[in-house]
Structure 1
Amino acid sequence: MLALLEHMYNELGVVSEFNINPLTLKRWLLSIQANYRNNPFHNFRHCFCVAQMMYGILYLCGLNNDFSREELGILLTAAVCHDLDHPGYSNSYQINARTELAIRYNDISPLENHHCAVAFSILNNPELNIFANVNQEVFRRIRQFKMVLIKCCDISNEVRPLSVSEPWVDCLLEEYFNQSDREKLEGLPVAPFMDREKVTKPSAQIGFIKFVLIPMFQTVASVYPIIDELMVTQLKSALERYEKMLAEEEETKRNLQMNEAD
């Protein structure tokens, strides 16, 4: 994964644009890897998947030719760094449990602020600063640049083949259930979509795909139609699969209830 990330930076022309020392890039990527925790979902493999999806969309939509090398570097770096040092527990947990992160950031997006702070803390080390040769004006834009593409890539697992996407759903649910179990032990509010006693794989995914993923990717597809063909179609197929799975679950549940009644 490290070698592939290094290739992405070179292939997009980011290394030459920012005059990045190849050794600094290697050290920076190793530091990034070290600053992702071993969570079921929010881990370095997730970081790589988001970066790989960003790289793929940039080429798929021809954005590698439309965007400046500076913008490409910002997008790829944002994808790589977007969940740095994620503790495996959501913002709601941080706030309700009054964690050190929530206190530090006054309950305002504690995780997002922390990811960003860790990213720039790494860059603050001269041996790890891949932007050392970038002027201050460009560096300021790097800190502010945000796009819907980053969010699409972050939640893009369902546009991938079933053999890839389904294990990621299992990992995410494991992380959710770990949080809800802890919230119950600590007497904190539990989000229904994280409660292992209320959530199944299809029930978790149907609403997410229907009301979040499809509208978001359709927005991108309105500008880049190839996204509709390759990704929105896959999302609709995934939605149908989970709806069928949910119907089967409900049928099984009804049959069990009827048998118990007899």
Structure 2
Amino acid sequence: MTTKIIHFMLNGRLQQAEFRDDCSTAEVKDLFRAAAEAEPHHILKMYNINGSVVNISPRLDTNSVDSYYRLEVVASDLKSVGMPTELDSMEHRLQRLENKVSEEAVKSPDAIADLKSQVESFKRKLESVEHLSWMGLFKEDSDHQLSTLSPKPKTSGLSLQEDRQQVRRKFLNMSSLQVTEEVREHLKTPIFDNWQWEEAEMLVLLQVMFTDLDFLTAFHIELDVLQNFLFEVFCHYNNIPFHNFRHCFCVTQMMYGLIWLTELRSKLSRIDLLIMLTSALCHDLDHPGYNNVYQINAQTDLALRYNDISPLENHHCAVAFGIMSKPECNILKNLTCEQYKHIRGGMIKCILATDMARHNEILNKFKTMQPVFDFTNKDHKEVLMKIMVKVSDISNEARPMAVAEPWLDCLLQEFFNQSDTEKLKGLPVTPFMDRDKVSKPSSQTNFIRFVLLPLFTELTKLFPCLEEHILEPVRRALDYYSDLERAGKEETKE
């Protein structure tokens, strides 16, 4: 039997492990677990030099000091953080597939292609479960508290700049490809699954949205300028648990779907549609992962700059127009002054409307207008546009549970990061973000009952077609989390 030597980086130190290739997978994992001083309840994650997940098994490729693997230790407290249980089964399936590939290689080379394809697919999916790191599951050490104060870096062997440029190259290479009619139609629906798409692919799909709504022709937007704008928007979203580029894509995709479902193209002007879609795209630019309450209590630069008035939303707007101040990114550069002023004013109003502190004010205004709503009335249209952006922003529970639930995990981690920081700094702790007081079901039942349903119900009165597409799914989500909450309380009693 031959011996393998594996070089790996752990906590900034280069180490090596040695084992025979007839070892079992469990023995190899135990070897790395011992090297990392990990406990039985921890999960090990290993990445190659390119940042891709590799399976920890006897089939690890021998490497050199220059092509070391990177080992991370992740705590697995599944009950407290609600980790998706599919992850372990996916890893087991990956391991079985790799075993099968090895067995079949000598029998039938033709059968290998499909198996290898399945293996790579699973590896990609494991890579995409990025909320492993976002959920704060890194092994605790002396720097743990400090590490929760700032956004976690992307799990990649590349620098941030290199990673972005790689996304840009992929985006531009794919942007000229024809997106299938099936994908285009699916993109118009609330059941679209954002987790299936890479960042570069999402940029292509955003380009499709702008193109299919005929914005390029109507507003004389040059394709390369649109692409530069979309890429800069991508670069200005931070790698934080929830308010990241994928969230931006989801909100924009829901807005796009609502425009088609409600036939708004025949009810609002194209310039108003552009305002709504671009507002959705830019509504959380450079979000730091800590909400307005934190900004104000901590007296951050943003709170001081905007006098405690919607500091985040004002910042998102400023970043959006900062991007468009660059000629190569300015999708509005060929418009008249009047058109530009109209779009800028509309975007500012729509993005500021996403401040949840203004939720009741905007919803109540819409309620009074809804029975006599007039699409030719400027004030009515303005409130509707705000409502549409708000609905898109908080629409995750209108999506299928398999799409929506991982978003809740991400949101709770961002909340918990904030409350942990509030405790550390001696600031008032936001109650619904306190990991010691909030459960996953309880956080959703109240939010759905008191925020989502009243908002979605009012919009459905104006657009009855949304009953099926967003109202019913949200009602089902309420039933689901209510059942979980009841079960949790009964378990506690026992």
Instruction: Name the TM-score, length of structure 1 as normaliser.
Output: 0.96
Report the equivalent of 2:484.
Answer: 245
Shift of residue 46, structure 1, vs aligned partner: 0.2
1:8-87 matched pairs, under 5 angstroms: 8-87=209-288
Task: Please name the residue that 1:259 is paired with.
Answer: none
1:258 counterpart residue number: none
Who is 1:136 aligned against?
A: 337
For 1:184 and 1:217, locate their aligned partners in 2 and report how far apart those are by CA, in whole Å: 35
Which structure has the highest strand share of the two? 2
Q: Does 1:175 align with 2:414?
A: yes
Q: Which 4+ stretches in 1 moved above 6 angstroms?
A: none
Structure 1 residue corresponding to 2:308, chosen from 86, 104, 107: 107
Quick one: distance in 1 between partners of 2:345 and 2:476?
36
Partner of 1:187: 426
| 1:167-246 mapped onto 2 (5 Å cutoff) | 167-246=406-485
Once the two structures are TM-superposed, the CA of residue 167 in structure 1 deviates from its matched residue by 0.4
- Equivalent pairs: percent with the same residue? 53
Amino acid at match of 1:66: K
1: CA distance, partners of 2:247 / 2:468? 24
Separation in 2, partners of 1:35, 1:85: 5
Matched letter for residue 19 of structure 1 = H
Report the Cα offset of residue 116 of structure 1.
Answer: 0.3
Deviation at 1:42, TM superposition (A): 0.1
Q: Distance in 2 between matches of 1:79 and 1:136?
A: 23
Q: How many angstroms does 1:69 deviate by? A: 1.4
Residues 99-149 of structure 1, C-alpha deviations (whole Å, 9 max, x = no match): 111111111110000000000010111111000011111111112223210
How many residues are matched? 255
**Aligned-pair distance for 1:17?**
1.0
Residue 64 of structure 1: CA displacement?
Answer: 2.0
TM-superposed CA distance for 1:25, in Å, is 0.4
Alignment gaps of 5+ in structure 1: 256-262
- Aligned partner of residue 327 in structure 2, secondary structure: coil
Deviation at 1:85, TM superposition (A): 0.2
Asked whether 1:97 is paired with 2:298, we answer yes
Q: 2:252 and 2:305 mapped to 1: Cα distance?
A: 28
- Provide the residue aligned with 1:158 in structure 2: 397
1:29 deviates by 0.4
Distance 2:318 2:470 in 1: 32
C-alpha offsets along residues 136-166 of structure 1, whole Å, 9 cap, x if unaligned?
Answer: 1111111222321000000000000000000
Q: Which runs of 5+ in 2 are unaligned?
A: 1-201, 351-385
Distance 1:245 1:151 in 2: 27
Inter-partner Cα distance in structure 2 for 1:149 and 1:69: 15
The CA distance in 2 between the partners of 1:201 and 1:91, in whole Å, is 22
What is the match of residue 260 of structure 1? none
Give the aligned CA root-mean-square deviation in angstroms: 0.7
Q: Which digits, 9 at most, give the CA deviation of each residue in 1:181-238, with x for residues without a partner?
A: 0000000001110000000111100111011101111111111001112211111110
In structure 2, C-alpha distance between the alignment counterparts of 1:68 and 1:12, rounded to whole Å: 11
CA distance in structure 2 between the partners assigned to 1:204 and 1:99 by the alignment: 27
The one-letter code of the counterpart of 1:12 is L
TM value normalised by structure 2? 0.51
Q: Distance in 2 between matches of 1:128 and 1:235?
A: 37
SS at match of 1:98: coil
